[in-house]
């Protein structure tokens, strides 16, 4: 850039002196016209203007390149800063927390299987945290749409439950060796980008196993992901292991719709509000069901009057993890 400026300056100076000599010769030839008040143009002044324009243009080009370079540098710096953040923060949806409000995160599990109802959820205006099943179809397309609407993303990973219920394809099972668990986990984590972490689909047997949860949480921590314990069993060791490993782990407070009934969902939302008012935050997990979505839409209308703010899960995770640390 500096070399270009010097070149342009040299070119301007060369033009100035070459044309100035020609001007003096023309001036001598036309001297008699000047004595009689001729309107002959002062050639030197004209060439000086040309020289000034060359200088100005060179400086303008230099500044343009400098500004463009600075913009690129700023973008690169921002990208590098974001890359150095753990993914659960880098991929989070930022919100402005309203002071003196209580905060609630609504996580909707099992997203992606029923495309019609998943599309309805995506159109919700408030920030929800949507957890897409790792074996749902067209995950890139579905999660891109959800993210574009301002929702936070999670991966809903099947894990082995107590009992005989099938958790689904790609589930983490207690009898698996670490190598197979690692392969299944890696495959799941590559299904779509921009999610903040995972929560367990089923998994009451898996999340009760200290050794397996240590493997899972340490693996997620290395990759920068958060773990949300769905708490499908009171025997879950996720929070305890998470604290020991200094891994980002939080747990849900309320299940909204384990009973698919409008009255029950309303009651659970009221309980969620009480927890938020008492502790400052609450995490509720629900599912993309018609009754749940209808009740949620009505519930969202007067949250500000109650001094309650609906926020993404990452917001509450940061608050809770800051308290621990």
Domain edge (last residue) among 84, 104, 124 = 84
pLDDT less than 70: residues of the chain: 1-83, 325
So what's the pLDDT on residue 7?
A: 46
So what's the pLDDT on residue 247?
A: 98
Do residues 73 and 107 share a domain? Answer: no
CA distance 43 to 47: 6
Do residues 178 and 306 share a domain? Answer: yes
Do residues 114 and 262 share a domain? Answer: yes
pTM of the model: 0.76
So what's the pLDDT on residue 296?
A: 97
* Strand 152-159 relative to strand 197-202, pairing: parallel
So what's the pLDDT on residue 125?
A: 80
Do residues 56 and 160 share a domain? Answer: no
Do residues 246 and 293 share a domain? Answer: yes
* Contact status, residue 199 vs residue 229, Cβ threshold 8 Å: yes
> Any idea what the CATH number is for the domain that residue 208 is in?
3.20.20.370
Do residues 104 and 191 share a domain? Answer: yes
Q: Which of 122, 113, 114, 175 is closest to 148 using CA atoms?
A: 122
Do residues 62 and 164 share a domain? Answer: no
Do residues 307 and 185 share a domain? Answer: yes
Domain edge (last residue) among 65, 84, 103 = 84
Q: Which of 251, 204, 207 is closest to 229 using CA atoms?
A: 251
Do residues 166 and 59 share a domain? Answer: no
Do residues 129 and 207 share a domain? Answer: yes
Domain edge (last residue) among 55, 84, 113 = 84
Instruction: Give one DSSP letter per residue of 8-62, joined into a string.
Output: HHHHHHHHHHHHHHHHHHHHHHTHHHHHTT-----HHHHHHHHHHHHHHHHHHHH
Do residues 57 and 23 share a domain? Answer: yes
So what's the pLDDT on residue 318?
A: 97
Owning domain of residue 166: 90-324
For the chain, the domain total comes to: 2
So what's the pLDDT on residue 48?
A: 42
Do residues 58 and 135 share a domain? Answer: no
So what's the pLDDT on residue 290?
A: 96
């Amino acid at each position: 850039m500096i070399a270009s400026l010097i070149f342009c300056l040299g070119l301007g100076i060369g033009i100035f002196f070459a044309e100035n000599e020609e001007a003096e010769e023309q001036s001598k030839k036309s001297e008699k016209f000047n004595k009689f008040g001729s309107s002959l143009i002062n050639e030197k002044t004209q060439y000086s203007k040309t020289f000034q324009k060359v200088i100005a243009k060179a400086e303008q080009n230099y500044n343009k390149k400098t500004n463009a370079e600075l913009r690129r540098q700023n973008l690169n710096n921002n990208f590098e800063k974001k890359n150095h953040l753990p993914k659960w923060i880098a991929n989070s949806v930022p919100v402005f927390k309203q002071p003196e409000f209580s905060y609630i995160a609504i996580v909707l599990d099992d997203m992606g299987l029923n495309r019609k109802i998943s599309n309805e959820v995506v159109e919700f205006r408030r920030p929800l945290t949507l957890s897409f099943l790792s074996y749902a179809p067209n995950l890139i397309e579905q999660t891109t749409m959800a993210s574009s609407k301002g929702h936070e993303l999670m991966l809903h990973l099947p894990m082995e439950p107590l009992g005989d219920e099938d958790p689904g394809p790609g589930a983490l099972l207690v009898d698996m060796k670490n190598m197979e668990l690692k392969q299944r986990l890696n495959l799941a984590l590559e299904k779509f980008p921009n999610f903040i972490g995972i929560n367990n689909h089923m998994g009451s047997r898996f999340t009760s196993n200290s050794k397996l949860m240590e493997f899972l949480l340490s693996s997620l921590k290395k990759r920068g992901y958060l773990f949300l314990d769905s708490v499908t069993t009171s025997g879950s060791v996720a929070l305890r292991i998470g604290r020991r490993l200094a891994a980002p782990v939080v747990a849900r407070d309320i299940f909204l719709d384990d009973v698919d009934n409008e009255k029950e969902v309303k009651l659970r939302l009221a309980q969620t509000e009480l927890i938020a008012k008492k502790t400052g935050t609450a995490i509720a997990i629900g599912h993309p069901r018609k009754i749940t979505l209808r009740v949620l839409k009505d519930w969202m209308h007067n949250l500000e009057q109650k001094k309650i703010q609906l926020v993404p899960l990452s917001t509450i995770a940061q608050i809770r993890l800051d308290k621990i640390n």
